[in-house]
Structures are given as C-alpha cells and as structure tokens.
Homo-oligomer: A and B are copies of this chain.
Amino acid sequence: MGVTIKDIARALGVTPGTISKALNDKPDIGADMKVKIRAAAIELGYVPNPIARRLVTNRSNTIGVFILDRHELSLRENYGFQFLDGIIKESDLHHYDILLFSITKDLAYQKSYISLCLERRVEGAVFIGLRSDDPYLEDIIRSPLPASVIDAEARGQNVSMVASDNRAGAAAAVDYLWGLGHRRIGIIKGSEREFASRERYEGFRHYLTERNSFNEAYVYPGDFTRESGAAAVETIMKSQDRPTALFAANDLMALGALKVFKGKGYRIPQDISLIGFDNIANSEDCDPALTTIGQNAAEIGKEAIRLLLARIRQENKGKASFIRTELVIRDSCAPLK
C-alpha cells in the first residue's frame, strides 16, 4: 500500500533519483523522459510522501496557527473563524499547510509557543488573540522564528503585525456622525491595555481635535464588555449637557449601552445616535440594527500570511500592516434635529 518513487523507478528501469528530478521538473532530465515518468506516475497512482521530502529538505512547508484564549475571550463574538478562513486560503495558495494550536488557560501550557513551533518544525507562526500581557509575548518577539501577530501590538525583527486600520475606522465613524450634524460626540473607550482600543480612541480624539470639538467630558471609560457599555450609559444619563451621539469602541459595549438606553425609555436614534465598531453578528439583529465599522477579517488573515511568507523567504523585516475598514450603515444613527 503506497506506491513510492522506487516503484516507478523499477517499472521504468531507471533510478529513483531520476524519478525525483523528473517529477520536480529539474533541468537535467530529458523532455521525453519526463513525460514518460509523469505518465508512469499517474499510471501507478503515485502520491508523493511529504514526510520524506520534509525530512531531507529540512523544510516543513507548514505554518503554525495559534488561537489563544487565555482570557475567556468569547469565541462567539470575535473574528476567529474569519481570520482563519483568510489564513487558510492564502496559505493554500502558496502550498503551505496549516497546523492548528489552541491554547486555553485551562490547558495551562508550560511550554512557550515558540518551543511548540520548534517541536513541530513549523516555518512560521501566526497568533490570533494574543494579549499584550501574555507571558510569552517577549519570547515571540525575540525569537528567530518568523511570526505574524493578528490584532495586537508586536514589533520586532521577525514579527509582523496585522490589524484593522483602527484609527481610520474610528475617524470614519466619527465622520459619519459629524456628517449627520452631530457636534457633541462622546466615546465609550476600551481598555488602555488593548492595542485596538488605544488606536480607536486616538482616531476619535484626533478627528475631533482637528475640528476643535473634542471634549474630555464626553469620554467614558469602558473595557470592551457589555457591562462596561451599560455602565457608561448610567453616567451619561446622570450628566447634564449630554452628547447627541455616541461612539462605542466596540459593538459589545454598544449593545450593552443600547439595552440600557432602551430600558430607560430612550429611543435610538431619535434621542441619541449610537455607532459601534466591529460589525459582530449580534449587531445585525438588534433593534435598532447597529450602525458600525466592519473589519475585513479574512483580509487580515491573508495579509498575515503574506507578510509571514515574505519573512520566511527573507524578503522583509517585521512589518506592520493595517487593513481598511468599512462603514456599515444601519439604523442606530440619525441626523441631528
């Protein structure tokens, strides 16, 4: 079971080396011999053994994908699967295999991700869901292994980072509000520890500052959870001189805020406009449907692979790449009356 290169060699009366070269289209095999060998290969049902090839070439043609879930990140509400989709497709294009790792805190890995990579002999790694306080982050940055980090900050010789253009996205969100006539625009921030959160805030702040409309009083703390979105609304309600529009740094907080607003009899968007960020599934069916900034997750995954492969081929250093976002307009924002 399993016809090898030797079987073909025997059948044709040539040596295994010749078969290998012919099948790999090396220059030092005659054209007619090549066709003969290829014919025999499919005739015999030959399927190459990647294991053997990898052993001798010392290249695994495999990249490791880490899905980190150390912090109970809800799998339902993030982009994991879409990242993965882009990753797979792009890898496939370049004939790389994907080896999947999932690290959860209950698995309590002792080993650094990098040593897992070394064991499996992957040529590079991409990280999804990495947090800035991950104990192995430094490992990744300093390691000689090429890596791509998705949606987190990580800079180094061998590590590239890919994320949405959070600044531009946030600016687009505010700009949409601005275009509707809003001038008193608030923000529910995410945690300072999250890269995406900082960037979104920066995009927001910069846009309004340039227009002399940034008001410190309108920035409300949050941490990307529903609860913090809800809590922000409570403080907003208490204040006088409320903002007329609100940018939540992610959809989850927007959803939390929305619920409280509705519970208090506030109408969205008549009484206040609300815009989110992420375009998670949930934002589609809430009432009113949430206007938000959509990320192109599949594209992020693809770009992560592109940068990684380039690094593997020594064509670049670690880079940062930011992917366009998209304004998706639904029903939670209205023109200022």
* Chain A contacts to B: CB under 8 angstroms: 47-52, 54-55, 60, 65, 67, 69, 75-77, 80-82, 84-85, 88-89, 92, 97-102, 104, 107, 115, 118-121, 255, 258-259, 262, 280-287
Contact = CB atoms under 8 A, between A and B. Distances in A.
Contact of A121 (B50, B80, B119): B50
Contact of A99 (B49, B82, B98, B281): B98
A132 to B, nearest CB: 23
A100 B62 CA distance: 11
Contacts of A47: 115, 118-119
Contacts of A119: 47-48, 50
Contacts of A65: 100
B81 A285 contact: no
Complex copy number for this chain = 2
Given A51-B51, A120-B97, A287-B286, A77 B281 contact: yes
B85 A102 contact: yes
Nearest 6 A/B pairs, CB to CB: A287-B287, A88-B102, A81-B81, A285-B286, A98-B100, A281-B281
Contact of A85 (B51, B75, B118): B75
B88 A100 contact: yes
Contacts of A54: 51
Contacts of A76: 81-82, 281
A60 B259 CA distance: 51
Contact of A285 (B104, B121, B285): B285
B89 A107 contact: yes
Given A52-B55, A255-B285, 15 more contacts: A47-B115, A49-B121, A51-B60, A67-B85, A69-B85, A75-B81, A75-B82, A77-B281, A92-B107, A97-B99, A97-B100, A100-B100, A282-B284, A285-B286, A287-B287
Nearest to A104: B89
A119 B48 CA distance: 7
A282 B76 CA distance: 10
A121 B75 contact: no
Nearest to A288: B287
A102 B97 contact: no
> Which of A76, A118, A283, A285: most chain B Cβ within 10 A?
A285
A287 B267 CA distance: 14
Given A98-B99, A100-B100, A102-B89, A80 B77 contact: no
